Amino acid sequence: AGEYFAELANMEMSFHSMEVVNMLTTETEMPHEFTNLYITNCISTCQNAMDKYLQNRLVRLLCVFLQSLIRHKSVQFQDMFIEVQTFCIEFSRIKEAAALFRLLKTIEGCGVNEAAASSSSV
């Protein structure tokens, strides 16, 4: 199983890979190391994209994906909080990154359960 998760975590970032990871995290208990590695790889892909149009698209996609994980309580953000927050600040010009940043601030202020309930309005 470890090899499977490692391979999945290192897949190229795309809508389809995110869809697979999202389904897996909502339907099964995934190792935190896997989700953290996948998110870290996605952040790196966004930061290293040379084409600005593609970069904006990837950032929007990742932000919506992360909001979905938070809403479904599918991921523990304690380990990644600073990294994801920094990502949001770096791409704050993009509406979805600003929305994710606000959601993270809500989590920081009131805890994950209340934030997940209020994130459906984001």
Rg, Å, the chain Cα set? 14
How many beta carbons lie within 10 A of that of residue 95, not counting itself?
10
Output the pTM of the full model: 0.83
Say what percent of the chain tops pLDDT 90: 45
Tokens of 48: 């290293």
What tens digit of pLDDT does each residue of 15-46 get? 999 998 888 888 888 888 888 899 999 999 99
Q: Are 93 and 86 in contact (CB under 8 A)?
A: no
